[in-house]
C-alpha cells in the first residue's frame, strides 16, 4: 500500500463514525472521492455516492461498503457524575470494561474510562459480564453538574484505540468493520477509472449498517445499477480458539473472500472469480446459505432484484477494539473490484439463464 492510500485508510480508521453519527467519517471519504470521481453526492442521512463515467456504453455497477462503526451512547448521567452506557450496534459487553473511551460531545471530545472493580476486590467465582446498560464511564467528574458541563444524553462514545502496525502487513484498529469496505469501494472506482473502463461505476459509503442495514435501504432504490459488489469484513478462522466450524477456513493474507449462496448472485460470483483469475488475484470462498448479514442483503432485493455479490476482507476479533486485517487482502479486494469492472465491459445482462 503506497503512502497516499495508507494515509487515507488511516484517516478513515481514526475518524470516529459510530452509527447515527457518521458525518465526520463520511466527510473524510467524500473529500478523497472528489479527487477521482466525476461527481459525489450525499443524502439527508449522509449516505455518499461517488460516480464515474455515467455516460459509459457498458453496464452500470456499484461498489459499496458501510462507513459506520459500533460504539456506545450516553444513556444518562447519575448524581455522582458517572456516565451510564447504552449500545450503538453490536457492542460486546465482554471487552468494554477497563478500556479507554472517548465521549464525542458537542463542545469537543471528553476522555474517559469504563470502570472495572479491581481483581483484588472481586470474588472470581462470582465473576460475570455486566450488560452494557450496567457499565459506566468515569470522566473524572465530581458530580452530575460537572459531568453535564462536558457531556449530555445522546452523545456517542467510541473506544480510544487507534491504528497499530503489527508484524508484516497486518494492522490492528477499531472500526476495520467496515472502514476497509468503504476504502475498497472508492479505491475500486479509482483503479477502474485509471484503467479507463467503459463502465459506469458508483462507489457507495452507506450509514447505519450496524443498526440493521438502514443506510442501504435508503440508498439502493436511488441507484439504477445492473450489478452490485458489496464489501464488508468477514470472520477469519486462523487464530487460537477460533470456531472454525462457524468461520470456515478463511485466513488473513490469503486474498479476498467471494461469497456463494443466498444473496450472492451466481453469475456475478462466477464473473468475480474469473476476473480474479485473469488478474492473478488469489480468492477464498465463503458459503452463505441463508443471508450474508451485510448490506448485500438489501442491495439484491432492491429495484426488483439487483444481481449482487458480497466480497469480504478477512478480519480477526470483529467488534472489538483490536480488529486485525492484512493490508494485502484489502488491496486485493480493491484490485478485484477494478478487475471485475474491466471484465464486464461488454456484458449486456447478468441474469441467470432459466
Share the mean pLDDT of the chain: 97
State the Cα–Cα distance between residues 227 and 58, nearest whole angstrom.
12
Do the bridges between strand 308-315 and strand 227-235 make them parallel or antiparallel, or are there none, so unpaired?
parallel
C-alpha 196, offset from chain centre: 27
State the Cα–Cα distance between residues 86 and 131, nearest whole angstrom.
9
Position 350 in a domain: no
> Which residue out of 22, 69, 209, 298 is catalytically annotated?
209
- For the question of residue 7 being annotated catalytic, the response is no
What pLDDT score was predicted for residue 90? 96
69-119 pLDDT per residue, tens: 999 999 999 999 999 999 999 999 999 999 999 999 999 999 999 999 999
Position 129 in a domain: yes
What pLDDT score was predicted for residue 221? 83
Q: Is 175 a residue whose pLDDT tops 90? A: yes
Q: Which grid cell sits at 150?
A: 462536558
Position 220 in a domain: yes
CATH of the domain at 137: 2.40.30.40
Last residue of a domain, one of 91, 120, 155: 155
Number of domains the chain is built from: 2
Q: Annotated binding residue at 210?
A: yes
Q: Which grid cell sits at 77?
A: 448521567
Do the bridges between strand 308-315 and strand 257-260 make them parallel or antiparallel, or are there none, so unpaired?
antiparallel
Last residue of a domain, one of 122, 155, 188: 155
Q: Annotated binding residue at 319?
A: yes
Rounded alpha-carbon distances, angstroms, from residue 33 to 37, 208, 277, 295:
6, 20, 28, 20
Q: Is 327 a residue whose pLDDT tops 90? A: yes
Position 354 in a domain: no
Last residue of a domain, one of 137, 155, 173: 155
Query: Domain span at residue 113?
Result: 78-155
What pLDDT score was predicted for residue 126? 85
| Look-up of cell digits 479507463 | 196
214-248 pLDDT per residue, tens: 999 999 988 999 999 999 999 999 999 999 998 88
Q: Annotated binding residue at 198?
A: no
* Beta carbons of 220 and 306 less than 8 angstroms apart: yes
Do the bridges between strand 257-260 and strand 284-287 make them parallel or antiparallel, or are there none, so unpaired?
parallel
What pLDDT score was predicted for residue 125? 85
Same domain? For 240 and 266 the reply is: yes
Same domain? For 201 and 303 the reply is: yes
Cα angle: 36, vertex 41, 43; to 5 degrees: 150
**Residue 314, beta-bridge partner list:** 234
Q: Annotated binding residue at 177?
A: yes
CATH of the domain at 223: 3.40.630.10
What's this model's pTM, rounded to 2 decimal places? Answer: 0.96
176 closest CA partner among 235, 247, 264: 235
What pLDDT score was predicted for residue 305? 96
Amino acid at each position: 500500500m503506497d503512502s497516499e492510500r495508507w494515509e487515507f485508510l488511516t484517516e478513515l480508521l481514526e475518524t470516529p463514525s459510530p452509527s447515527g453519527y457518521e458525518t465526520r467519517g463520511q466527510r473524510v471519504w467524500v473529500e478523497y472521492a472528489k479527487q477521482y470521481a466525476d461527481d459525489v453526492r450525499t443524502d439527508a442521512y449522509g449516505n455518499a455516492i461517488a460516480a464515474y463515467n455515467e455516460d459509459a456504453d457498458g453496464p452500470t455497477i456499484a461498489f459499496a461498503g458501510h462507513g459506520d462503526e459500533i460504539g456506545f451512547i450516553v444513556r444518562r448521567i447519575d448524581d455522582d457524575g458517572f456516565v451510564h452506557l447504552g449500545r450503538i450496534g453490536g457492542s460486546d459487553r465482554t471487552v468494554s470494561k477497563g478500556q479507554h473511551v472517548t465521549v464525542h460531545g458537542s463542545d469537543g471530545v471528553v476522555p474517559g474510562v469504563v470502570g472495572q472493580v479491581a481483581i483484588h476486590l472481586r470474588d472470581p467465582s462470582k465473576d460475570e459480564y455486566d450488560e452494557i446498560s450496567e457499565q459506566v464511564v468515569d470522566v473524572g467528574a465530581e458530580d452530575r453538574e460537572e459531568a453535564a458541563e462536558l457531556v449530555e444524553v445522546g452523545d456517542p462514545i467510541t473506544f480510544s484505540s487507534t491504528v497499530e502496525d503489527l508484524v508484516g502487513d497486518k494492522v490492528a484498529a477499531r472500526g476495520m468493520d467496515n472502514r476497509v469496505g468503504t476504502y475498497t469501494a472508492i479505491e475500486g472506482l479509482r483503479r477502474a477509472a485509471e484503467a479507463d473502463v467503459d463502465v459506469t461505476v458508483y462507489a457507495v459509503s452507506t450509514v447505519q449498517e450496524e443498526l440493521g442495514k438502514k443506510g442501504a435501504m435508503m440508498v439502493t432504490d436511488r441507484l439504477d445499477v445492473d450489478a452490485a459488489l458489496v464489501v464488508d469484513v468477514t470472520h477469519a478462522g486462523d487464530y487460537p480458539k477460533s470456531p472454525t466450524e462457524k468461520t470456515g477456513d478463511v485466513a488473513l493474507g490469503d486474498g479476498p473472500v467471494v461469497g456463494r449462496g443466498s444473496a450472492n448472485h451466481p453469475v456475478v460470483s462466477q464473473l468475480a472469480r474469473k476476473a480474479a483469475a485473469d488478474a492473478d488475484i488469489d480468492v477464498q470462498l465463503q458459503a452463505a446459505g441463508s443471508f450474508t448479514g451485510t448490506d448485500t442483503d438489501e442491495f439484491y432485493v432492491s429495484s426488483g432484484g439487483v444481481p449482487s455479490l458480497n466480497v469480504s476482507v478477512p478480519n480477526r476479533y470483529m467488534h472489538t477494539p483490536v480488529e486485525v486485517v492484512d493490508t494485502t487482502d484489502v488491496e486485493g479486494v480493491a484490485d478485484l473490484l477494478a478487475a471485475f469492472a474491466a471484465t464486464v465491459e461488454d456484458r449486456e445482462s447478468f441474469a441467470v439463464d432459466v
